[in-house]
């Protein structure tokens, strides 16, 4: 058993190239896409404690997003609890339906530099026809560390929990408005 594990680990280190992958998550919000949209391009500060255990022990969590405007080409920032800022540019905008942004600059964090490139993000809103909206969060990334299969498990988990922190916040804001 141990020998099989070590063989798989060694093969992964030698052969696996950097990934270019997608993490996608969804949440149902009990209001219209128009109401949800108000909090998609930018949202006020998240004041609640994060749920994800890595955020609770110190990994920076998302706290706010701000944008210079609601138009293609506008700059946007995703701000994290340690003050780290991901600089973004809006590349697609369909009010009430779609926001896509490219990551133009990542924080100078030694945990990220040379290891992970976040490429772009996206929010899609789907009207469910019953007074609810499905909000979908997508993030594309390039992982450059080995063994990539191992580190990809952690990367996907962290990205998924960033999505959920933001989308749960959007849900709370939209449903209480």
Residue-wise pLDDT tens digits, 76-110: 999 999 999 999 999 999 999 999 999 999 998 76
State whether residue 171 is helix, strand or coil. helix
**Per-residue pLDDT at 3:** 62
CB 21 within 8 A of CB 166: no
123: nearest Cα among 105, 101, 106: 101
70: nearest Cα among 104, 33, 96: 96
Torsion angle, alpha carbons of 83, 87, 90, 96, to 10 = -10
Listed by start position, the domains of the chain span: 2-176
**Per-residue pLDDT at 55:** 95
**Per-residue pLDDT at 145:** 86
pLDDT tens-place string over residues 130-144: 999 999 999 999 998
Give phi and psi for 172, each to the nearest 5.
Answer: -60, -45
**Per-residue pLDDT at 102:** 98
Gyration radius of the chain over CA positions: 18
Confidence of residue 75 (pLDDT cuts 50, 70, 90): very high
Residues linked to residue 105 through DSSP beta bridges, in sequence order = 87
| Mean pLDDT, the chain, integer | 91
Between 14 and 89, the more confident residue is 89
- The stretch 108-114 carries a mean pLDDT of 75
Domain 2-176 has CATH 3.30.1600.10: no
Cα 39 from Cα 102, distance rounded (Å) = 18
* Residue 23 confidence (pLDDT) above 90: yes
The pair of structure tokens assigned to 154 is 């952690």
pLDDT tens-place string over residues 147-169: 888 999 999 999 999 999 999 99
Cα 118 from Cα 121, distance rounded (Å) = 8
**Per-residue pLDDT at 7:** 52
- The stretch 114-120 carries a mean pLDDT of 90
């Amino acid at each position: 058993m141990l020998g099989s594990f070590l063989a798989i680990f060694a093969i992964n280190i030698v052969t696996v190239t950097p990934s270019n992958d997608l993490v996608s998550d969804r949440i149902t919000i009990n209001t219209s896409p128009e109401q949800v949209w108000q909090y998609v391009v930018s949202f006020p500060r998240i004041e609640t404690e994060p749920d994800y255990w890595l955020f609770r022990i110190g990994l920076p969590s998302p706290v706010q997003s701000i944008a210079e405007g609601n138009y293609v080409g506008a700059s946007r920032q995703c701000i994290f609890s340690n003050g780290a800022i991901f600089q973004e540019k809006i590349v697609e905008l369909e009010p009430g339906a779609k926001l896509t942004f490219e990551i133009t600059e990542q924080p100078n964090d030694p945990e990220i530099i040379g290891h992970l490139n976040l490429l772009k993000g996206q929010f899609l809103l789907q009207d469910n026809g019953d007074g609810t909206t499905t909000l979908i969060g997508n993030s594309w990334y390039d992982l450059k560390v080995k063994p990539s299969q191992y580190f990809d498990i952690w990367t996907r988990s962290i990205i998924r929990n960033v999505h959920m922190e933001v989308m749960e916040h959007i849900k709370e804001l939209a449903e209480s408005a």
